[in-house]
Every structure is written in C-alpha cells, then in structure tokens.
Amino acid sequence: MINKDNNSKIDILSLTLDELTDVVSELGEKAFRAKQIFQWLHQKRVRTFDEMTNISAQFRAKLQDYFCIKSLFVCKRLESDNDNTVKYLYELEDGNHIESVLMEYNHGNTLCVSTQVGCKMGCRFCASTIAGFKRDLLASEILLQIYEAERDSGRHISGVVLMGIGEPLDNYDNVINFLTLLSCPEGANISLRHVSLSTCGLVPKIYELAKLKLGLTLSISLHAPDNKARSEIMPVNDRYDINELMKACHSYFETTGRRISFEYALIDDHNDSFEDAQKLAKLLKNFICHVNIIPVNKIKERNFKSDRKSAYRFQKYLDELGVNATVRRTLGADIDAACGQLRREYEI
C-alpha cells in the first residue's frame, strides 16, 4: 500500500491516517503525533516538515529521513471569460503532465481531477487516450490537484468528479486510497456524497466498488444503446459488453442504494436517432437512474461532432419515452475545458 519514490522515501501524502499512525509508532512516537502531522499536511497544507512547529526538531529530522512530501506545479492556467471555469495543466515531479478543471455550480466549486497520466481505454472520441498511457497517479497526486487548485484560486472546493484524464477503476487501489484521504475528517473532509466517479465500464471493479458502499455517485460512460454502436467507439465494450455492464449496474444499485448516472456523448449520425433513444429507453427500463447527455466535444484528431440543439432533441425523445435525462451544462467552452486536450499540446 505504501508508495516509495526513487530515494525510497515514503510518499507521506498518500498515507491514510491509520497507515501514518502505524508508521509513526514504528518510529517510536505517540499516536497523537500522527494526527498532528496529518493535519499539517492535509488541512494546513504545509510543503516542508520544518513548518510543523508543534513537532520536535528531532522528530522533524527523522520525518525528513523517512518521508517525502510530493508536489505539483501549475504549468499553465486558462481562465474562462464566460464563467468561472479554470483549467489547470499541472506538471508532476517526473515531468509528466495532467489536467484538472475547476467549475462553479450553484452549490459550490467542483474540481474535475485526473487519475492517470494518459489512458489505456482507447475511446475513439476522447483526447486523453491519443498520446497513450504513461502511468497511474499516486493517491497524493490526485489529492494535490485539489490542494493546488484551492491554493492557486483562493476558492474552496466542496465537490470532486473523477472525470479527468484516465480511467479511475483502472487505478483502483490508488483511487480508493485517495477517496479515503479526501473524506477523512482530519483531512480535506469532503463528503463522498459530493464525489462522482466516472468509468467506461470495468465490470469486475464495479462489483468491487459496490461492496465498499462509499456513498459516491457512480457515472457510467455508456454513450451508445447497443453493442455494435458502442464497440465502434469504445473498445472496452469488447471486454465487457452492455449486458454484463447493465448487470453490474443493477447489482451496484441493489448493494449501495445509490442511483447511477449514465453519460451519453451524443455523436451526429452515430447514436442520436429516435431509434437509438428507443433502444436506450428499453435498456434502462425499470432502472432508477439518470442520463446525462453531452454534445460530443470536438477534438482535432477526430471528426465526431454534435451540438446543443441535437442534444435537446435527443433529450425530448427520451422524455417522451419516460427516461429521466438532462443536457450537461457547457462550462469553459472558450478554454477547451474538455479533458485531455491541453496535455496533448505538451506531449510529443
């Protein structure tokens, strides 16, 4: 569970309070010290051990020997003129880049975070996958996207969506660790009720996640109502087809009692007809869920397109068929706020 960097120092920001408590007692210190250190890191957000002034100089030196405090650097910041959306390009310590998007809603600020450097899933319409997969993010690197966005913007973040670069369920252990850290009362203390996790449909991991009963909202990137249309745009459908996926979704709902949200990126002439809406309605029949229609964001490497007018038309179809659906608000359209597009400019 404990991640070590090149110098074999322990990545302290990835340790849960329980793990930190164990390590601190191994080092011969009282358990309450772990809580103090945890609060310095996750609430006061210090970047050096020397700033932990209620810890003795001797123990701080020991901490310095055993642990490292990871950091992220704001490499580029794009601010929207239309709304309060801010897009961050972060540089990781190893020189890789990831993106986060800060969005303002009525109920507060939400950050869309990345979970991997690149992505293996290969969805045809997605910019995150084009440069390929580099590596998983550590729990600390997911968390730091929030800490740095708060520090940089001066805005308080109360919600998180795991919808940036990467497939969260393909980096399962680090993501679960991140969620534990995020919701810890001695840390950022963000309730998992304000967290959404989006997956392209890694079925075995959906069952695993259900067992944890975390209270977050699960979003499924469905994007097509039948196997043929889905396989054409999402290679993951050849591993876990729609039937298996829907079975996992029903089981998730039964286990957790949480309503699932289905993402549907509308693509002209691919999945936007009345017949598609009928198939979707049949698929979701008797299922307590919500469909989020997103006009596909144009990426320069592909020809897929759609617009808000088609999205509202498709919503009307679904409405007539009794399916609860909304068209996702477009935020930061002037800064290309869709994930993966900024990082692409930095990858050779």
Q: For residue 42, which of 122, 124, 137, 151 has the smallest C-alpha distance?
A: 151
Q: How far apart are CA 88 and CA 343, in angstroms?
A: 10
At residue 337's C-alpha, the angle toward residues 334 and 341, to 5°, is: 110
Would you count residue 125 as binding ligand SAH (CB under 6 A)? yes
Q: For residue 329, which of 78, 86, 99, 104 has the smallest C-alpha distance?
A: 104
Q: Which is nearer to ligand SAH, 250 or 302 (CB)?
A: 302
Shortest CB 98 distance to ligand SAH, Å: 12
* Residues of this chain, 315-344, that bind ligand SAH according to CB under 6 A: 338-339
At residue 346's C-alpha, the angle toward residues 340 and 347, to 5°, is: 85
* Residues of this chain, 69-88, that bind ligand SAH according to CB under 6 A: none
Number of residues that bind ligand SAH (CB under 6 A): 18
Would you count residue 99 as binding ligand SAH (CB under 6 A)? no
Would you count residue 216 as binding ligand SAH (CB under 6 A)? no
Tell me the three state secondary structure of residue 105.
Answer: strand
Task: Determine which one of 19, 29, 68, 99 is catalytic.
Answer: 99
- CB within 8 Å of 67: residues ≥ 6 apart: 9, 10, 11, 12, 49
10: left (phi over 0), alpha (psi -120 to 50) or beta: beta
- By CB under 6 A, which span of 26-34, 174-182, 295-303, 309-317 interacts with ligand SAH? 295-303
Would you count residue 199 as binding ligand SAH (CB under 6 A)? yes
Shortest CB 197 distance to ligand SAH, Å: 8
* Residues of this chain, 255-294, that bind ligand SAH according to CB under 6 A: 263, 265, 294
Q: How far apart are CA 198 and CA 261, in angstroms?
A: 9
Shortest CB 200 distance to ligand SAH, Å: 4
Residues 314, 280: contact at Cβ < 8 Å?
no
Q: Which is nearer to ligand SAH, 128 or 180 (CB)?
A: 128
Q: Which is nearer to ligand SAH, 183 or 271 (CB)?
A: 271
Shortest CB 168 distance to ligand SAH, Å: 6
104 is catalytic: no
- By CB under 6 A, which span of 40-48, 152-160, 195-203, 283-291 interacts with ligand SAH? 195-203
Q: How far apart are CA 105 and CA 165, in angstroms?
A: 21
Cα 253 off chain centre by? 20
Would you count residue 310 as binding ligand SAH (CB under 6 A)? no
Q: How far apart are CA 13 and CA 37, in angstroms?
A: 10
339 is catalytic: yes
Among 3, 171, 297, 315, binds ligand SAH (CB under 6 A): 297
Among 99, 136, 167, 272, binds ligand SAH (CB under 6 A): 167
With residue 47 as reference, give the H or E element that holds it: none
Active site (catalytic) residues = 99, 339
Binding stretches for ligand SAH (CB under 6 A): 121, 123, 125-126, 163, 167, 198-200, 221, 263, 265, 294, 296-297, 299, 338-339
